[in-house]
Amino acid sequence: MFKILVPVDLTDSAYKACNFALTFANQAPEATVVILHCYQDYLEEPNGEGMFSESNATSEIITDHVLRRNQTDAQEKLDELYQSLKAVNKNPYLQLERVFMYGMPEDLVPEEVQRFKPDLLVMATKGESNLARTFFGTISTNIAQDVKVPMLTVPETYEGTTLKRVLYATDFDKEDAQTLEALQQLLLPFSPVIECVHVADEPTRSDNKKLEALRSKLQQTAKTNISYTLLDGDDVADALQKFVSEQAIDMVALTSRSRTLLGSLLNPSLTKRLMLESQVPLLIFHASADE
């Protein structure tokens, strides 16, 4: 049973994340997709002055009414999303569930990951310009650091679910071979070309040797077509995104390193930047332990 958890904020981007999750789920013999909304009490800004200027008792009644209305609206939107996904899903072997929970998403999502043990976590991202207001701003990047299951982020502006060409960003870590095996297994139904790319400021002979060593290690067990490329660039994120644009890449994958490995090219700062700036989905694997 292939299990996917999709936290949603019930905006338009939620449907895109769910649709991408269904694309993966439909490639499995049996799958369960859980749509999770974490509800938080909030008060909308009053439309006019004096809204809460009456007695304390009256103010409490109005406050309670607004909060109940907000919760009801959120539940109805989650139901609408669930029903729309059920309507487009034609796979009788796919089990679709919805969960409405009260609390902070940065707390509840890792807890649900521990409980549900999904094979994949899928979340929408909205970009840096909305960080101050959006659920999927700093929260999504924090969750990416806290969970240990593969996490797929889908940009709000991204259209489609094609997976013909996938970039894997390598820093020649000892776990790259294992991660590439997992990536191939996950994407096997899509039969993509995987572009294994390393970015270096003035690539050296040592970089070439490491890339060839990775190629040799994988060639005997490769399940799909993998190519290997050295990119010249002093800004890793910019170099990768330029490659994505020029080579029509459909998804970027990488292994996020420990918070302590700040010397790594693929440290959490770069992962966070790619999550906020990438124009294509980003699949994040996690190093098994700090080194």
**What does the DSSP assignment read for 99-113?**
EEEES-HHHHHHHHH
Alpha-carbon gap, residue 49 to 10, rounded angstroms: 29
| pLDDT on residue 270 | 73
Lowest mean pLDDT among 47-56, 137-146, 171-180: 47-56
State both tokens at 152. 């797929």
> Does the structure show a pLDDT above 70 at 118?
yes
Share of the chain above pLDDT 90, in %: 51
| pLDDT on residue 121 | 96
CB 5 within 8 A of CB 36: yes
Give the pLDDT band (50/70/90) at residue 42: low
> Does the structure show a pLDDT above 70 at 220?
yes
Q: What is the mean pLDDT of residues 125-137?
A: 49
The domains spanning 2-42+71-152 and 165-286 adopt the same CATH topology: yes
Q: What is the CATH number of domain 2-42+71-152?
A: 3.40.50.620
The whole model's pTM is what?
0.83
> Does the structure show a pLDDT above 50 at 47?
no
Domain boundaries, the chain: 2-42+71-152, 165-286
Relative orientation angle of helices 138-146 and 105-116, to the nearest 10 degrees: 30
CB 100 within 8 A of CB 79: no
> Does the structure show a pLDDT above 50 at 139?
yes
Better-scored residue on pLDDT, 221 or 80: 80
| pLDDT on residue 131 | 39
Q: Containing H/E element for 282?
A: strand 282-286
Q: Which ranges of 118-235 does DSSP label H, i.e. alpha helix?
A: 138-146, 176-187, 205-219
CB 36 within 8 A of CB 102: no
| pLDDT on residue 260 | 41
Sign of CA dihedral 209, 215, 216, 217: positive
Sign of CA dihedral 40, 46, 50, 54: negative
| pLDDT on residue 46 | 44
Alpha-carbon torsion, ordered 120, 125, 131, 135, to 10 deg: -60
State both tokens at 105. 């998403």
Any idea which fold 165-286 has? Rossmann fold (3.40.50)
Q: What is the pLDDT of residues 270-281, one digit of tens each?
A: 777 787 788 899
Give the pLDDT band (50/70/90) at residue 67: low
- Please give the single-letter amino acid code of residue 233: G
Q: What is the mean pLDDT of residues 93-117?
A: 93
